Amino acid sequence: MQQKGAIQIIEWEDLDKRKFYSLGVLMTLSTRATVYPASLIRTRLQVQKGKALYSGTADAFCKILRAEGVRGLYRGFMINTFTLVSGQAYITTYELARRQVSRHSSSNTLKSVVAGGAASLVAQTITVPIDVVSQHLMMGEHSGRFKAKPKMMLATAKRGTTFGQTRDISVQIFAADGFRGFYRGYVASLLTYIPNSALWWPFYHFYAEQLSLRAPSECPHLLLQALAGPMAAATASTITNPMDVVRARVQVEGRSSVVETFKQLLAEEGLGAVTKGLSARIISSTPTSLLIVVGYETLKRLSLRDDLVHYRHW
């Protein structure tokens, strides 16, 4: 019988790397496809002025589905799949950083915070240019300064999402701001996702341990981890949502100052603006975390070195 509260963490050195990467790509792609519509809705809610077009998550979903069909919920998805590279970079950095920190400290919280932050830094450096382009595809409008007008969103969204549109958006971004235009909102992204990642991992392990202490000893660890993931996601999303709203505005509207964008947001829409898209973000992040946890923990179990297979505790 295993000690209550002690959920074993499979570390980097325990893995067969060939299995880990081949199965990891499939896991990442399926996860992104599942949660992409919620990410699209979140972006549109955060960028619109007030409630000019959508009154909330459910209203946005119904209007997009009615006006654009299912394809409308996947605008920009093909381009977004290039972030598969950043997904693999994220998990590699996370595992390697955990190993480095473990040489100096046995604290799982410290390892999770440092590794989560480092992984997000690497991933966002790869992801931001892809996000900048895919977010404009999500909005269905890409004028000179990328400031989408709500009344035009549905009209332009009826056009098919093609690589031709991606090329046009990329050309306009480069013409307006040069190469740095593809990193518009990079600082805002780091200020959003590094804290989010650094918070998610320790909260995830904390919730998993607390659930294990309260669950019957025969309860599968994977089930406890599956519950802990969404709980950690909801916690981290709520804490970091204000910065996520600013990030979306900076990237889509072509702004250069995080501070000025935040000030204008508060001046125009009040303190409630920092909660914009929070429900959509939680709706997106909690199932994402559930899928990631189940997928990632299963992936690590399936990728164990042959001599460690007996350590698989489901």
Q: Confirm whether 22 is domain-assigned.
A: yes
Query: Residue 295 pLDDT more than 80?
Result: yes
The per-residue pLDDT for 116 is: 95
pLDDT value of residue 313: 60
- Domain-located, residue 126: yes
In percent, the amount of the chain with pLDDT more than 70 equals 88
* Rg of the chain on CA atoms, in Å: 20
Q: What is the pLDDT of residue 146?
A: 35
Residue at 211 is within a domain: yes
Q: What is the pLDDT of residue 163?
A: 54
**Percent of the chain surpassing pLDDT 90:** 25
- Asked if residue 7 belongs to a domain, the reply is no
pLDDT (tens digit, 9 = 90+) per residue, 135-164?
A: 777 776 433 333 444 333 333 334 444 456
**Collapsed DSSP state (helix, strand, coil) of residue 53:** coil
Of 42-56, 120-134, 168-182, 278-292, give the range with the top mean pLDDT.
120-134
In a domain, 2, yes or no: no
Is residue 4 in some structural domain?
Answer: no
Does 1 map to a domain? no
Task: Give the span between the Cα atoms of 39 and 272, in whole angstroms.
Answer: 20
**Residue 256 — pLDDT band, cuts 50, 70, 90?**
low
Q: Which amino acid would we find at residue 198?
A: A
What is the span of the domain harbouring residue 21? 12-311
pTM for the complete prediction?
A: 0.68
15 bridge partner residues: 304
Q: pLDDT by residue (tens digit) across 33-92? A: 888 898 889 888 888 877 888 888 899 999 999 998 998 899 878 877 877 888 889 989
User: Given pLDDT bands bounded at 50, 70 and 90, which one contains residue 236?
Assistant: very high
Number of domains, the chain: 1
pLDDT digits (tens, 9 = 90+) for 202-235: 999 999 999 999 888 888 889 999 999 999 999 9
User: Over the chain, what is the mean pLDDT?
Assistant: 82
Residue 5 resides in a domain:
no
Helix axes 278-302, 57-72, angle to 10 degrees: 60
Considering all CA atoms of the chain, what is the largest pairwise distance in Å, rounded to the nearest integer? 64
Predicted confidence at residue 208, as pLDDT, reads 93
| CATH number of the domain to which 19 belongs | 1.50.40.10
- Residue 251, classified by CB atoms within 10 Å of its CB into exposed (0-12), middle (13-18) or buried (19+), is buried
